[in-house]
Amino acid sequence: MLYYCAFTWHSGTTRAEVAKRIVQQHDAGENYPERIRGWYNLVGGGSGFLLVETNDPRDLTAFLQPYMDLMDWDVRAIYEEEYASTVERLRQVAQEAT
């Protein structure tokens, strides 16, 4: 399953604190980079999102918890849509509704 994990730093969280925690978790083997499908920061800093793939949501919770004193998380399970086939499926839905 793929998860969208948006983060926003708590007020007062510093870049140094986040850097230290990321490196600490990485060096401990707790970040599982093979599960991270994407890491995006928003312009201006202090927020962004990860795309994380795991079959067990408990693994995702264990991955995110060590950061919860530094940032808030908004986590949602997601799935990909292929544009052309989705439009065709929605075309059928729209036609059936009329």
- The angle at the Cα of 33, spanning 24 to 53, to the nearest 5 degrees, equals 130
Report how many domains make up the chain.
1
- As a whole number, mean pLDDT of residues 72-95 equals 97
pLDDT tens profile 10-27 = 999 999 999 999 999 999
Q: What is the domain-level CATH number for residue 71? A: 3.30.70.1060
Parent domain of 52: 2-97
In this predicted structure, the answer to whether residue 57 has a pLDDT above a threshold of 90 is yes
User: From the CB of residue 71, how many other CB atoms can be counted at a distance below 10 Å?
Assistant: 19
The whole-number pLDDT of residue 98 equals 85
**Sequence-separated (6 or more) residues with CB below 8 Å from residue 38:** 50, 51
CA-based end-to-end distance of the chain: 35
